[in-house]
Every structure is written in structure tokens, then in C-alpha cells.
Amino acid sequence: MPERILSNWFEFSKRPEHLHLHSVEDAQAIDTVKLELPFAVCRCDRYLLTFATSEELKPHLEKHGLHIGNSMELLLDEFTSNGLKHPQIERREARNFVSTLFRESFERFAVSKGLLAYPLSGGSCYYWFPQGLAANDKVSFVNTSGEKGWRGVVGYKSVKSAIGDSRIRNWHFGVRVKTYAWPFAGFAVKPHVAFTENGTLYDSKARQHSARRSQCKSWYNDDWLDRILATMSFLSGQTSKELLVPLSPSEVLGVNNLPIAFESPVSFQVIDKEVQAEVVRAEADPEDDESEEVDDAEDAL
């Protein structure tokens, strides 16, 4: 019997037609300053690639004593398909630049909505809900069937240490995105969970990992997906069908807040969740026991 399956792929609903390549007059001076711009920019030698026009970029560069030499308007599709001859930017590099601009713009957008960055290895981050950001730490959403629902994006659990002391541990749902051009044009949204006590993140990566395995071992696909849908709903304002991610003062990236659905030719019957949860707990690694928790001494664009 066929079954409808939801993915974590969220298609772009709107993309700009153009982006801009700006040359900086003093190429050496740009190495001596830390550019803090209100929109995403990729640097290529003495050039800055961005969706901002020269007029939008100019005042921010002048604060650092930098000036635009020349500006070039590029067709987005042509740039990602062919790259550029001068300055030489290969097709793959062009796609990576655009992928980075889209991703970094989403991350800036998430921060502007109040989510906090959690650094991962390799320099990437995911973005999580602090307590109190969403009303009652819950977010409502409408699924692909038009049904309304809600999910908690922050929760807590009372845990005991090895010596029997009780404490409250909070979990915080978060997401990160990766840009894709094929087999779809959009973001793959990946879920994460951060843990705090008394409002302070666990510094230890090992402790975060142990808490995540313990807290989330009975979360099923619908738990994860619904929280992704709730996050996308929160970012879109809970009233719109798309996120409008600012790329520059004059350009936005539209992202559908509902994912791509697929039809599977076969389906399967899920056993009772409570029974399965007991099986999972019985087979859990001893490291997952709360009493054992201790601090440790693309195909992209």
C-alpha cells in the first residue's frame, strides 16, 4: 500500500535574479580590517561577492576606510552554471559561494529571530531556542495535510547524579541548514538538541552527546519532523507559508515552510510506541543512564 512520506527538504520559493561582484580599491587594506557587515558577503581575493548593491555596501566599507573600485552585476543562474572568466571563478567555486551566501543569510536571519548559535566542529553552527523565546516554549504549526498542531521546543527533565542529588536539565531544540541545487533547490534542515542547566550550556561536548542520547532515545521521526516544522513556522512568523530570508537590504530568499513530500510504493506498520520505548530503554547503553552522567575531566550549490 503506498504511503506519503515527508522529507526535511524545504524548497526555495523565490530567488534573486542577480548578485553583485565588487572590487575593493586597496586590496592590501582589506586584509587589515575585520569587516562586520549586516548581510552575507564572500571574499574572492580583492573582490566581494554579495547580493548587496554598491550603494548598499559602500557606507559599510567606508567605515573601515575602504572604497569600491568597480561593480559588476551577475546573472545568478549563469554564474552558478558557468562561473566567471575575470576574475576567474570556476563553476564549482561559484556554486559554493552562492551556497555560502544563502546559508549564512539563513543563519543571520535565525539569530535576528532570537535563536542562539551553538558551534560545531569544522566552524559550522546550529541555532537553538533559548528558554522563553517562544510563548510557553511551544510553537504551533500547520502540517502538509492542513492540520494544526504544536510542539515544545524547550523542555526539562529531572535527573540524578551518581551521588543521588537531583537537578533540572533543560533541552533546547535547534536546526542547521545545508544548501542544495540538486535534486532540489532549497535547504535541507537538520535537527539538533542543546542542553543547559541554570541557563548555562554544557561546555563539554561529551556531556552534550550523553544527554542527547539519553533525552532523545525515545523520540521518533514524527517528533523530530514536527519540531522542524514548528521551527520553520516560528521563523516565518506562524502566519506565512514561506520564510523571507534577507540577503541584502533589497533582496530576499523565499523558502517554503513545508517540506517536499514523496510517495513510497510500500508502507509499514509502526508497533506501539510505548512498547518500543521500553525495548529501547532495556537495550540502552549503560552510558545513557542518567546516574552515569559525569563531566568529562553536496551536491550543494
**Structure-model confidence comparison of residues 212 and 291, the more confident one:** 212
Q: What is the pLDDT of residues 175-189, one digit of tens each?
A: 999 999 999 999 999
DSSP code at position 138: E
What is the pLDDT, as a whole number, of residue 271?
A: 63
Q: How many domains is the chain partitioned into structurally?
A: 1
* In a domain? residue 103: yes
Q: Say if residue 52's pLDDT is above 50.
A: yes
What is the pLDDT, as a whole number, of residue 68?
A: 95
What is the pLDDT, as a whole number, of residue 275?
A: 52
pTM: 0.87
Among 25-34, 47-56, 57-66, 283-292, which stretch is predicted with the lowest mean pLDDT? 283-292
Q: What is the pLDDT of residues 21-38, one digit of tens each?
A: 999 987 677 777 888 899
Three-state DSSP at 98 gives helix
* In a domain? residue 93: yes
* In a domain? residue 300: no
What is the pLDDT, as a whole number, of residue 208?
A: 95
CB neighbour burial string for 146-170, b if at least 16 within 10 angstroms, e if fewer: eeeeebbbbbeeebeeeeeeeeebb
- Domain holding 31, by residue range, is 3-292
Q: What is the pLDDT of residues 198-207, one digit of tens each?
A: 889 999 999 9
**Structure-model confidence comparison of residues 273 and 281, the more confident one:** 273
C-alpha cell at position 108: 543571520
Three-state secondary structure string covering 188-238: EEEEEEEEEECCEECCCHHHHHHHHHHHHCCCCHHHHHHHHHHHHHHHCCC
* In a domain? residue 78: yes
* In a domain? residue 110: yes
Mean pLDDT confidence for 76-103: 96
* In a domain? residue 297: no
**Structure-model confidence comparison of residues 128 and 270, the more confident one:** 128
* In a domain? residue 192: yes
User: What percentage of residues in the chain have a pLDDT greater than 70?
Assistant: 89
* In a domain? residue 298: no
